[in-house]
């Protein structure tokens, strides 16, 4: 039996609904608001066309209903609430199983180390309880500890993959040591084995190296990672060090992982000529489907989709164009948070 009988669920185990938040004038999307809304409409349409329910946060339900009128509204639940921005991965609830019951853990979020406002984001999960979308009995307030969903990944069997740069950041939890964080992740997420990645960073990343831009855990003792084969790319040396460390990682039985390499997208730049942190590792996986961010790079996009089929051979692969999404330094996984049946309230 795992410590505390707590188990942090793997993303591919269950998905009853996906949580998103629509761009609005009060968010950082305002300068390209119409493009951003079109982008989110395409993302939501990709989910609903494949039978995935969506819980969509909005500042105006009537306006959102009109904006999404061309999608399958039977699979969409609109929730009017306040939020600072749209990256629900990092303030949405993390799902664990304790005993035989689901728990929706509401960790603290402080704008990726005090870089951006986050006061309203921190109240979203409690708002979902008040709106009967999260069960009160499942909800747990863990906001005394800052932990973003994009900063950790799990195999669902007690192993957590994360990065030193993010979790040991002094602007999140006062720069706690790895030993202190290991105890916290063990107590709250049931972690028995923590893999600390010391290398890997993407230009333009605001998150201090979130793991979901670099490496992801997959079934059958597999780690999927972002590679870089271009020696002239600014990421080459750092990604080479990351790959070397991944070869040294061992599972709880002392066995090496099967490593599957994703391509790095060709450079994408913003209006000021600064590189954006595009990554194919920022996919969302459900029990049946893997939604893959693509960037209008046919060869790289095709290679990424085919590579992920190796790790998830029984999954349907659905590419989702994310060229607008990346302009705010995030991608598909960052913009979504999967929820499971055992934590959802009566309204869904």
User: Residue 4's pLDDT is what?
Assistant: 55
User: Residue 175's pLDDT is what?
Assistant: 86
Q: What percent of the chain has pLDDT over 90?
A: 97
30, 73, 93, 161, 241 from 215: Cα distances, Å: 31, 34, 21, 8, 13
Task: pLDDT band for 342, please (50, 70, 90 cuts).
Answer: very high
Q: Is the pLDDT of residue 348 over 90?
A: no
Mean pLDDT along residues 325-346: 97
Model pLDDT for residues 195-231, shown as the tens digit of each residue? 999 999 999 999 999 999 999 999 999 999 999 999 9
Mean pLDDT along residues 67-83: 96
User: Residue 186's pLDDT is what?
Assistant: 98
Model pLDDT for residues 172-183, shown as the tens digit of each residue? 999 899 999 999
| Interior angle at CA 269, CA 331 and CA 224, nearest 5 | 40
Mean pLDDT along residues 13-18: 98
CA distance 197 to 243: 10
CB 335, CB 89: distance < 8 Å: yes
User: Residue 100's pLDDT is what?
Assistant: 87
Task: pLDDT band for 16, please (50, 70, 90 cuts).
Answer: very high
Q: Is the pLDDT of residue 1 over 90?
A: no
Model pLDDT for residues 290-318, shown as the tens digit of each residue? 999 999 999 999 999 999 999 999 999 99
Task: pLDDT band for 113, please (50, 70, 90 cuts).
Answer: very high
Q: Is the pLDDT of residue 3 over 80?
A: no
User: Residue 255's pLDDT is what?
Assistant: 98
Residue 32's CB is within 10 A of a number of other CB atoms, namely: 16
């Amino acid at each position: 039996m795992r410590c505390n009988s707590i188990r942090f669920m793997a993303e591919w185990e269950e998905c009853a609904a996906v949580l998103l938040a629509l761009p609005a004038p009060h968010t950082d999307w305002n300068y390209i608001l119409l493009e951003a809304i079109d982008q989110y409409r395409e993302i939501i349409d990709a989910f609903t066309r494949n039978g995935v329910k969506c819980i969509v946060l909005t500042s105006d339900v009537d306006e959102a209903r009109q904006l999404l009128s061309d999608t399958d509204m039977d699979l969409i639940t609109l929730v009017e609430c306040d939020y600072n921005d749209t990256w629900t991965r990092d303030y949405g609830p993390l799902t664990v199983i304790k005993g035989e019951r689901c728990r929706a853990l509401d960790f603290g979020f402080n704008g990726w180390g005090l870089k951006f406002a986050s006061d309203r984001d921190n109240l979203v999960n409690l708002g979902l309880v008040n709106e009967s979308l999260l069960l009160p009995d499942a909800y747990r307030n863990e906001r005394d500890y800052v932990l973003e969903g994009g900063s950790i990944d799990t195999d669902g069997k007690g192993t957590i993959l994360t990065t030193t740069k993010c979790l040991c950041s002094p602007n999140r939890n006062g720069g706690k040591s790895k030993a202190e964080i290991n105890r916290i992740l063990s107590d709250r997420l049931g972690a028995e084995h923590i893999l600390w990645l010391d290398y890997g960073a993407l230009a333009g990343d605001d998150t201090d190296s979130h793991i979901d831009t670099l490496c992801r855990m997959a079934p059958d003792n597999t780690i999927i990672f972002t590679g870089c084969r271009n020696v002239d790319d600014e990421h080459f040396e750092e990604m080479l060090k990351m790959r070397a460390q991944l070869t040294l990682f061992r599972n709880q039985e002392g066995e090496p992982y099967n490593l599957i390499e994703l391509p790095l997208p060709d450079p994408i730049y913003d209006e000021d000529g600064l590189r954006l942190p595009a990554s194919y590792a920022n996919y969302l996986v459900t029990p049946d489907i893997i939604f893959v961010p693509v960037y209008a790079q046919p060869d790289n996009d095709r290679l990424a989709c085919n590579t992920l089929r190796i790790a998830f051979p029984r999954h349907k692969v659905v590419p989702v164009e994310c060229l607008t999404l990346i302009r705010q330094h995030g991608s598909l996984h960052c913009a979504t948070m999967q929820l499971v049946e055992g934590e959802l309230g009566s309204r869904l």
